[in-house]
Amino acid sequence: MFRRLSRWTIALPVALAVAGLSGCGSDAPAASGGAEEVTVFAAASLTGTFTELGKAFEAAHPGTTVRFNFGSSATLAQQIVQGAPADVFAAASPATMKTVTDASPASSPTTFARNKLQIAAPKDNPAKVDELKDLTDPKVKVALCAEQVPCGAAAVKALDAAGLKVTPVTLEQDVKATLTKVELGEVDAALVYRTDVIASAGKVQGIAFPEADQAVNDYPIATLAKAPAGDLAKRFVDLVLSQQGKDVLTKAGFETP
C-alpha cells in the first residue's frame, strides 16, 4: 500500500541520537556532589506526556536531569541497537520494542498505555472529510505515517479492516510530522493518533472512525540492561506506571491497560 523508506532514513547514525537528546529541567548537582542523568528514548506521540512526567521526576529527585530523545519508535529502536546510550525505551508498538529486546538484554516490557487513530483535518475542513472512505477520493490530499513506523502500521490495519486503499501525497517518519502537514494546510487530512489531535489544542479537528478500534497500538516500556543510570531508569518507569503517570496519560487521551 505504501512505498518504503530508504534504509538510511530509518537507521540514523548513532551520533544523531546522542546529539538529539533534549534536556528537561535543571542541571544542578545532586546533594551527593554530582549531577545525575537518566536518558529516555520515547515515541514522538509521548512528547507532551513524558515531558510533563520528566518535570515531575526531576522535582521528586533534586539534582537529577531527565534527557529525552523523541522520534519514530522504529528509528529510536535502530539507534539503541546501534549503541546509542539510553536508560529507558518507551515504544509505540510491541514490534519496535522487540527490535531492541531481541538485540540486547532489557527488563520485561510492560504495556503502560494504548492509543488509537483519528482522522485529522484542518479546522475549516475544506475537503469536507467526515469518514474514512473520504480519504480514497483522489482529490483529497492525504498524509500518512510510513508503514515501517507504528502509526503507519496502524493505518494499514485500519484501512485493511475497512477494505479501503488510500494513495497518500506524503509519507512521514513519525506522527508529529504527519500532523504538522495538516496544521500547515499542506494536506486535507491525515491519520494520526487521537492524543496528537488533542495535543494540537484546536489547531485541527479530529474525526473518529469505527475501524480505529481494530488498529489499537499498545505502548510498552522497558529499562535497558546496559543502562548507564539503571536505578534512576527503574524509578522513571515506576513513575510512568504509577497512578500519577496514568493520570497524565489519560488526560492526554491515552487509554491505560
pLDDT of residue 226: 81
pLDDT of residue 105: 83
pLDDT of residue 228: 82
Question: Domain 7-114+218-251: which topology?
Answer: D-Maltodextrin-Binding Protein; domain 2 (3.40.190)
Fold matches, 7-114+218-251 and 117-214: yes
Strands (E), 154-251: 170-172, 189-193, 204-207, 217-223
User: What letter would DSSP give residue 84?
Assistant: -
pLDDT tens profile 40-85: 999 999 999 999 999 999 999 999 999 999 999 999 999 999 999 9
C-alpha 164/C-alpha 180 separation (Å) is 24
Residue spans of the domains in the chain: they are: 7-114+218-251, 117-214
Mean pLDDT score of the chain, rounded to an integer?
Answer: 88
Contact 197, 28 (CB under 8 A): no
Mean pLDDT by runs of 10 across the 257 residues of the chain is 39 40 40 67 96 98 96 95 94 96 90 98 96 97 95 96 97 95 97 96 95 96 88 96 98 94
Neighbours of 117 (CB within 10 A): 30
pTM metric for this prediction: 0.83
Question: Domain 117-214: which topology?
Answer: D-Maltodextrin-Binding Protein; domain 2 (3.40.190)
pLDDT of residue 166: 97
